[in-house]
């Protein structure tokens, strides 16, 4: 549907800023109507209206927003959870209540779906929001220096635009469930005090047009591509107790594109045996169909394999569970946070079913209690220039024991052993704009990637090989044993022979009586590392966020201080400068 944008009369009583805002709004409105999207809040007239706006990369903020919006809707609100990527469908100035949930990525950056919206929202042209009430929930990780940075920025910006904060921003660390619930309670309580009528909208129309059917939109996050697995190879050799696999997926027919440094998001299926065990414990006829989050109906078994998380248990789930069981212990501890944490430690949904049998009436009753199964991210280990139409991954299978059971990581197990050859796995690309090779191919690069951290560097090296980049490449790799855990050894040997890999230094942590890690190798060759960096090299780190990345940064800091003849402050400034110049980039998890 083509829409003509009306001219704003010269004598209309608007300031320059208001005029600009209105112009942009009308443009976006026209765009969204012609694309069939909802343009203005479709609040059924007379209902209070709430917009949950989410910035989310790996789905946490999205899942929270959708869950909260659903709870609002059950409580009589007209509530939507809207992806910031779809900002053109939103007119913030008309929204009486905007509840923003956003994560932070990169080094204090917006998640990719929020980049464009943030640019607009933080720009001068953004209109005032005097009639909007707001609150912000931020998701983050205290391992990062810029903890919850985007939540903080949204919070400040809403306030600066005149919106009224109804509840204090809450910043969550990786275990965000409980704090998110607290934020939700605080918001709900405040809304009760203010009164729903304040948020009642008179808007009765939606933007018109028809919502595009999924088949017509390109493959991506909203329409993941079913990619067949075409090859898989074990990277750990016997007798290693680890299991890491090289996995190849085909992208033919998808139009999906990626650059080296990007990650891919993959939707796993839960372990079939575990799902069957759960079905055997449930106290009702399990040969039934249920409605899953996308609105379709499918057999309960398929829904439990494909749509719901049956692993870790958030406290909020336990509270709902409690309402369906009269178990005296659960009743006794439910209000005590510490006891609940202890109770849930290392447990999964199957453990709860055994321990606290509950009175689920139906399959729908049961799945309504569960969270959505989320995609997992994997760094891409291939260059599209070397392997057109393919994407390669390096996946470590997560396995551990708790409460006498072997636990299996959902997605890593699915990719390493569940997925059969030629079976499809749904994927979408997750561009990682903060992790890129130097634009100038003559620049040297130092790559530190122990364990699965090697993945993007295999891709970097392939890219540098195919493009014949003249810069030098130095790789630090590490793992427990040289004999069994030297991933991609043949390829790296070949790359050394043909001159692509200028230098490789390896740290085998358990091949001797004491531990050697990549940071020790960086220390051993610190003068050369300094010479490379001082000469303009880019320094990359990928892999473990908790121990490896901080230890590598410490080694980097020390060598900069020593060979740069700097004090602590000077070395910290130097590192900051490297980051600002995108010469020190990390992709850690
Ligand atoms: C940007 C990015 C890139 C990534 N790249 C890669 C990659 O290239 N290769 C790769 O293998 N992974 C990569 N990951 C990690 C990957 O996304 C998954 O998190 C990982 O595979 C585990 O997912 P899962 O579904 O198998 O495990 P889940 O089912 O999600 O289980 C993981 C959870 O199990 C628990 N757990 C794990 N080990 C133990 C233990 N020993 N004791 C007790 N509890 C435990 C923890 O609660 C943990 O959160 C990346 C992550 C990010 C964010
Ligand atoms: C590569 C990477 C970079 C991240 N950078 C930050 C950061 O700078 N600050 C922060 O607080 N959290 C950071 N995080 C943590 C995420 O914000 C956190 O995991 C959040 O729960 C993700 O929510 P989402 O799934 O909605 O995107 C980062 C996570 C990853 C994997």
- Same domain assignment for residues 242 and 316: no
For atom 18 of ligand 2, the residue with the nearest CA is 140
CA of 160 to the centre of ligand 1 (A): 39
**Cα–Cα distance list, 453 to 168, 234, 305, 449, 588 (Å):** 38, 16, 29, 4, 8
Residue 205 maps to a domain: no
pLDDT in the model for residue 415: 98
Q: Which residues are within 8 A (CB) of 311 and not within 5 positions of it... i.e. 6 or more apart?
A: 348, 349, 407, 410
Question: Is residue 115's pLDDT more than 60?
Answer: yes
pLDDT in tens, 563-581: 999 999 999 999 999 999 9
pLDDT in the model for residue 42: 44
Residue 81 maps to a domain: yes
CA of 562 to the centre of ligand 2 (A): 32
- Same domain assignment for residues 316 and 463: no
Mean pLDDT of 171-186: 94
Looking at the CA of 174, which ligand is closest? Answer: 2
Q: Is the CB of 539 under 6 A from ligand 2?
A: no
Q: Is the CB of 112 under 6 A from ligand 2?
A: no
Domain C-terminal end among 367, 393, 409: 367
- Same domain assignment for residues 58 and 122: yes
Q: Is 312 exposed, middle or buried (0-12, 13-18, 19+ CB in 10 A)?
A: middle
pLDDT-based confidence at 202, cuts 50/70/90?
Answer: low
Domain C-terminal end among 326, 346, 367: 367
Residue 527 maps to a domain: yes
Q: What is the CA radius of gyration of the chain?
A: 26
**Best residue for ligand 1 mutational test, from 409, 487, 541 (most atoms within 8 Å of Cβ):** 409
Q: Which residues are within 8 A (CB) of 339 and not within 5 positions of it... i.e. 6 or more apart?
A: 333
> Cβ distance 321 to 366 under 8 Å?
no
**Cα–Cα distance list, 461 to 235, 247, 447, 448 (Å):** 18, 18, 10, 13
pLDDT-based confidence at 210, cuts 50/70/90?
Answer: very low
- Same domain assignment for residues 166 and 45: yes
- Cα(369)–Cα(308) distance, rounded to whole angstroms? 10
Question: Is residue 203's pLDDT more than 50?
Answer: no
pLDDT in the model for residue 213: 57
Mean pLDDT of 185-210: 72
Q: Is the CB of 108 under 6 A from ligand 2?
A: yes
- Same domain assignment for residues 356 and 389: no
Q: Which residues are within 8 A (CB) of 165 and not within 5 positions of it... i.e. 6 or more apart?
A: 133, 134, 135, 155, 158, 159
Instruction: Using the atom order of ligand 1, give the atom closest to the CA of residue 587.
Output: 1
- Same domain assignment for residues 243 and 282: no
Q: Which residues are within 8 A (CB) of 316 and not within 5 positions of it... i.e. 6 or more apart?
A: 177, 178, 181
Number of neighbouring beta carbons within 10 Å of residue 132: 19
Residue 179 maps to a domain: yes
Whole domain around residue 417: which residue ranges?
Answer: 225-268+375-430
CA of 203 to the centre of ligand 2 (A): 36
**Cα–Cα distance list, 572 to 556, 558, 581 (Å):** 10, 10, 14
- Same domain assignment for residues 264 and 276: no
Q: How many domains does the chain have?
A: 4
User: Which two three-digit tokens encode residue 484?
Assistant: 């069994």
**Best residue for ligand 1 mutational test, from 242, 373, 399, 412 (most atoms within 8 Å of Cβ):** 412
* CA-angle at 262, arms to 261 and 263, nearest 5°: 125
Helix (H) or strand (E) holding 479: strand 473-479
- Cα(303)–Cα(290) distance, rounded to whole angstroms? 7
> What CATH number does the domain containing 323 carry?
1.20.990.10
Domain C-terminal end among 367, 399, 421: 367
> What CATH number does the domain containing 252 carry?
2.40.30.10
pLDDT in tens, 376-426: 999 999 999 999 999 999 999 999 999 999 999 999 999 999 999 999 999
pLDDT in the model for residue 86: 85
- Cα(411)–Cα(408) distance, rounded to whole angstroms? 9
User: Which two three-digit tokens encode residue 170?
Assistant: 């809450």
- Same domain assignment for residues 243 and 102: no
CA of 103 to the centre of ligand 2 (A): 6
Which pairing describes strands 244-250 and 390-396: parallel, antiparallel, or unpaired?
A: antiparallel
For atom 34 of ligand 1, the residue with the nearest CA is 409
Residue 510 maps to a domain: yes
- Cα(78)–Cα(43) distance, rounded to whole angstroms? 5
- Same domain assignment for residues 389 and 454: no
Looking at the CA of 64, which ligand is closest? Answer: 2
> Cβ distance 229 to 425 under 8 Å?
yes
User: Which two three-digit tokens encode residue 17?
Assistant: 């800023």
pLDDT-based confidence at 281, cuts 50/70/90?
Answer: very high
> What CATH number does the domain containing 501 carry?
3.40.50.80
Phi, psi of 520 (to 5 degrees): -70, -35
For atom 9 of ligand 2, the residue with the nearest CA is 147
Residue 439 maps to a domain: no
**Cα–Cα distance list, 562 to 225, 459, 537 (Å):** 50, 32, 18
Instruction: Using the atom order of ligand 1, give the atom closest to the CA of residue 399.
Output: 38
For atom 4 of ligand 2, the residue with the nearest CA is 105
Question: Is residue 337's pLDDT more than 90?
Answer: no
Instruction: Using the atom order of ligand 2, give the atom closest to the CA of residue 55.
Output: 26
- Same domain assignment for residues 185 and 329: no
- Same domain assignment for residues 474 and 536: yes
* Coil/strand/helix, residue 55: strand
- Same domain assignment for residues 138 and 38: yes
CA of 311 to the centre of ligand 2 (A): 21
pLDDT in tens, 235-263: 999 999 999 999 999 999 999 999 999 99
Q: Is the CB of 412 under 6 A from ligand 2?
A: no
Mean pLDDT of 541-561: 97
pLDDT in tens, 26-85: 665 555 454 444 434 444 557 899 999 999 988 899 999 999 998 999 899 999 999 998
């Amino acid at each position: 549907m083509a829409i003509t944008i009306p001219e704003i009369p010269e004598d209309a009583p608007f300031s320059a800023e208001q005029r600009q805002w209105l112009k942009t709004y009308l443009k976006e409105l026209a765009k969204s109507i012609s694309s069939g999207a909802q343009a203005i809040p479709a609040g059924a007239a007379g209902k209070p209206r709430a917009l949950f706006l989410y910035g989310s990369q790996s789905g946490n903020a999205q899942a929270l927003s959708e869950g909260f919006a659903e709870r609002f809707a059950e409580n009589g609100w007209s509530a939507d959870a809207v992806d910031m990527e779809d900002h053109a469908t939103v007119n913030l100035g008309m929204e009486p209540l905007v509840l923003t949930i956003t994560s932070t990525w990169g080094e204090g950056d917006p998640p990719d779906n929020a980049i464009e919206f943030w640019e607009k929202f933080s720009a001068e042209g953004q209109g005032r929001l005097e009639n909007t009430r707001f609150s912000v929930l931020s998701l983050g990780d205290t391992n990062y220096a810029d903890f919850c940075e985007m939540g903080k920025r949204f919070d400040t910006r809403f306030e600066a635009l005149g919106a009224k904060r109804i509840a204090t921003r809450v910043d969550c660390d990786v275990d965000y469930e409980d704090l998110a619930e607290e934020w939700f309670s605080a918001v709900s309580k405040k809304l009760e005090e203010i009164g729903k009528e304040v948020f009642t909208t008179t808007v009765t129309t939606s933007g018109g047009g028809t919502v595009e059917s999924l088949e017509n939109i390109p493959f991506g996050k909203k329409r993941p591509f079913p990619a067949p697995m075409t090859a898989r190879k074990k990277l750990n050799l016997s007798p290693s107790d680890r299991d890491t696999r090289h996995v190849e997926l085909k992208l033919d027919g998808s139009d999906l594109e990626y650059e080296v440094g990007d990650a891919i998001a993959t939707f796993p299926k839960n372990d079939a045996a575990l799902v069957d065990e759960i079905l055997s414990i449930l106290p009702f006829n399990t040969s039934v169909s249920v409605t899953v989050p996308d609105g379709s109906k499918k057999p309960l078994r398929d829904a439990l394999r494909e749509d719901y998380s049956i692993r870790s248990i958030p406290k909020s789930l336990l509270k709902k569970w409690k309402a369906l069981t009269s178990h005296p212990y659960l009743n006794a501890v439910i209000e005590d946070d510490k006891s609940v944490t202890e109770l849930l430690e290392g447990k999964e949904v199957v453990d709860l079913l055994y321990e606290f049998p509950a009175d689920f009436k139906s399959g729908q009753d049961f799945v309504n209690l569960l969270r959505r199964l989320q995609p997992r991210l994997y760094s891409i280990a291939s260059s599209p220039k070397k392997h057109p139409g393919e994407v390669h991954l390096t996946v470590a299978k997560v396995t551990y024991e708790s409460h006498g059971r072997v636990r299996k990581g959902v997605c890593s197990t699915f990719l390493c052993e569940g997925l059969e050859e030629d079976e499809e796995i749904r994927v979408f690309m997750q561009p990682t704009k903060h992790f890129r090779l130097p634009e100038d191919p003559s620049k040297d690069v130092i790559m530190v990637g122990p364990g699965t951290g090697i993945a993007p560097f295999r891709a970097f090296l392939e890219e540098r090989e195919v493009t014949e980049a003249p810069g030098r490449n130095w790789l630090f790799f590490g793992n427990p044993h040289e004999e069994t855990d030297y991933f991609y050894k043949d390829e790296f040997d070949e790359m050394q022979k043909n001159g692509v890999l200028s230098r490789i230094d390896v740290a085998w942590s358990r091949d001797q009586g004491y531990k050697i890690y990549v940071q020790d190798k960086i220390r051993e060759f610190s003068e050369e590392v300094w010479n490379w960096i001082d000469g303009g090299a880019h320094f990359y780190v990928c892999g473990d966020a908790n121990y490896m990345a901080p230890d590598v940064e410490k080694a980097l800091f020390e060598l900069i201080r020593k060979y740069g003849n700097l004090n602590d402050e000077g070395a910290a400034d130097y590192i900051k400068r490297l980051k600002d110049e995108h010469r020190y980039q990390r992709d850690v998890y």
